[in-house]
Amino acid sequence: MDYFLIITILVSLAAVFGYINVRFLKLPNTIGLMLITILFSLGVIGLAAFDDTLLNVEKEIITNIDFEEILLEVMLSFLLFAGALHTNFEQLKIQRWPVLVFATLGVLVSTFLVGTLMFYVLQLIGLNIDYIYCLLFGALISPTDPIAVLGILKKAGAAKNLEAKIVGESLFNDGVGVVVFLTIFQIAGSAERNIDAMAILELFSVEVVGGIVLGLILGYVTYLLMKSIDDYDIEVIITLAAVMLGTVLAHHFHLSAPLAMVTAGLLVGNDTVRATTMSEITESYVDKFWELLDILLNTILFVLIGMEMLVLSFRGEYILAGIIAIPVVLFCRYISLLLPINFFKKKLAFAPKTNLIMTWGGLRGGISIALALGLQAEMHRELFLVVTYVIVVFSILVQGLSIGKLVEKYSVDKTGA
């Protein structure tokens, strides 16, 4: 099956499912699309009892798509740049220190808490998994997904300072989370499993710092190019080229492409740069282009997540482990945020119940599934893939549907100081 046909089928399914959601369900797009796709996939499985033609076609589509490569190597850069481009830079600047701590220390603490608790939980249900592999699971499930949470928070009317914390953390912790995952992956994949602290620090520094520096350079060059001309067509193409070229350079030099794209998007999208580089019509075209691309990639992504269930091994103990992992991951996220929030709330205005809202609003999405797909068979790939899928589905459908009500319940000041 050629790629054009696969893309055609995915875009067509996204269009049909999106129409059904907007016309009848009226749910946020990310939630509605995944729910409809899961129901569609379950329907295909049920139909297979009489005729398995459609099931085989859908399985062929999924098996021909390298979800990990498509999301991590291609789609993620565009989605993160688009998200950063439309993020409130001034609020993010105010909240920069808590966002930095949440995205670094928070991810590390969550990784080790989840890994440790899951090591013992899995033993209780008869699954003896090495501790290092549980840590790998902790690393892949700890980053929250800005793709899933951004639209939901805006629709919920969250206070601006709270939205800046959650979205800012989600934008940056993807890059950090991927680096942590790759570091533990290298340790788990080596025969001796020797932990060289300096090598780990070097890898982390090159990926994270290098990614941010690359993003600053890309953003600055994009700014200079856009400032020197006034042609909205070419300026839109310049932003597109910046993302594509930046992704290629990041992969070539082994830097964090997600962090590079977030940094570049924040630089190009902040109000000061916009005022000095873009005319009103250019700003409109740039925003509309990236909004459209964001929506298109989002719809395809969540259709893919829903269809992924067709190729998973849903064994009873795997599903049980996934159900137990849901409260474990939520508890670990709450604990990992507790100290930073208590420290910073004395200096910055925090919305009521920030820890509770950030815990429940920390949705998991395609990034966690993509990382789980990258596990090797000896790392208990099938187990952790099912566990991750169960958490992602719960996160998007249950947490995603209820976070708005939680925000409304505790938001006293919607403007957010």
Section 200-210 average pLDDT: 82
Split into its structural domains, the chain has a count of 2
Instruction: Pick the last residue of a domain from 21, 37, 63.
Output: 63
Q: Tell me which residue has tokens 């909205």.
A: 232
Residue 137 has pLDDT above 60, yes or no: yes
Residue 383 has pLDDT above 90, yes or no: yes
Residue 105 and residue 37 share a domain: no
Say if CB 361 and CB 330 are below 8 A apart: no
Residue 127 and residue 40 share a domain: no
Rounded Cα distance, 259 and 248, in Å: 13
| Residue 416 placed within a domain | no
Residue 244 sits in which domain range? 67-410
Residue 125 and residue 34 share a domain: no
Lowest mean pLDDT among 6-15, 173-182, 199-208, 211-220: 199-208
Residue 125 and residue 90 share a domain: yes
How confident is residue 416, by pLDDT bands cut at 50, 70 and 90?
very low
Q: Report the candidate in 109, 101, 127 with the shortest Cα–Cα distance to residue 386.
A: 127
pLDDT tens for residues 94-112? 888 999 999 999 999 999 9
- CATH number of the CATH domain containing 395: 1.20.1530.20
How confident is residue 192, by pLDDT bands cut at 50, 70 and 90?
low
Residue 163 and residue 56 share a domain: no
pLDDT at 415: 44
| Residue 269 placed within a domain | yes
| Residue 102 placed within a domain | yes
Mean residue pLDDT of the chain comes to 89
| Residue 415 placed within a domain | no
Instruction: Pick the last residue of a domain from 63, 85, 109.
Output: 63
| Residue 417 placed within a domain | no
Residue 76 and residue 29 share a domain: no
Dihedral through CA 276, CA 280, CA 286, CA 289, nearest 10? 170
Residue 345 and residue 211 share a domain: yes
Residue 188 has pLDDT above 50, yes or no: yes
pLDDT tens for residues 235-287? 999 999 999 999 999 999 989 999 999 999 999 999 888 999 999 999 999 99
Residue 299 and residue 219 share a domain: yes
CB atoms within 10 A of CB 339: 13
Residue 350 has pLDDT above 80, yes or no: no
Instruction: Pick the last residue of a domain from 39, 63, 87.
Output: 63
pLDDT at 1: 63
